[in-house]
Structure 1
Amino acid sequence: MHLYFLMIFFAALPAWFLSTLEGWITVDCTRAAVSSPMECTVGERFAFSSRNTRYATWKARSASLHRHDRRGSSVSYQLVLSTASGEVPVLRSSTGSDKIERIARDLNAAIGAGSTRFSAEAPPDSLFWFASFLVFLFAGVGALIALVGKRSGKS
């Protein structure tokens, strides 16, 4: 019982951090006629859940947010789709993956060329993988503490 408690206790903070990060992002679009908008399904897979949303898309762009602080600078990206009701940021949170810019550029090229299908995927950025590693590392440390604590108590 103590083993499970310590594993969960130590892994809780990195697991929460991991749950705030974007995982895999997929964009699948189709349309019936060249004059109609692309019906795009944006799939977001997070560490512990997923979300699929659908938009009638006329145009796409990537919004980038540049941050500068004492530790350096970073860039995060958001996919913005132009729909009949205006521009809609479609990702739950910005991601560090610059593949979002490529997806927006390629989707605009497909819309402009009159394509009836478009598909793209962006893998998670490196911070997602680092947070995943931390979850397993912290859970392992919790298990190690619980196992070593059991052995020293028997002596």
Structure 2
Amino acid sequence: MAAYVREHHPEVWLSVSATTRRPRPGEVDGVHYHFVDDAQFDRMAAAGELLEWAVVHGRARYGTPRAPVERALDAGRPALLEIDLQGARQVRRTMPDALFVFLAPPTWDELVRRLVGRGTEDAQEREARLATARVELASAQEFDAVVLNDDVRRAAEELVSLMRSPVPEAKRD
């Protein structure tokens, strides 16, 4: 979905997360992720350079560099962060006025089909990701809106529309 937003909505700024995992084939440093080693990630976290960070699927660490997000928001651009449940909870504490949107799969079976179809994880990694997905799906009510990811174009357009909407009164209190 991020690729669709990037191509069709250049006004939306997309965050690029830092991660300690190795790049997958075709991934480009600085475009898909900022690939960093453990020492660099530790330094970033200790210096407060990450808006949020977490260990994901019990393996690699992922985090959102703070400065680029703040620059985008200061420039008046809508900012899109692709983060997990742990990250959303952290960002909610520091940016409670942000809009939190949960991207939901059409069905559990479709989520499994998509994960297996990618072919980028072994069986153990798939099971870890599915366990994480169960927890995240059970937490969807913590978000301000849920977008059903049944069609990339439709879901991305709905997400961008939500981002353009005025902040609801309840979020301003």
- Normalised by the length of structure 2, the TM-score is 0.21
* Structure ranking higher in helix proportion: 2
- Normalised by the length of structure 1, the TM-score is 0.22
Asked which structure has the greater CA Rg, the reply is 1
Q: Which has the higher contact order (CA 8 A, sep 6+)?
A: 1
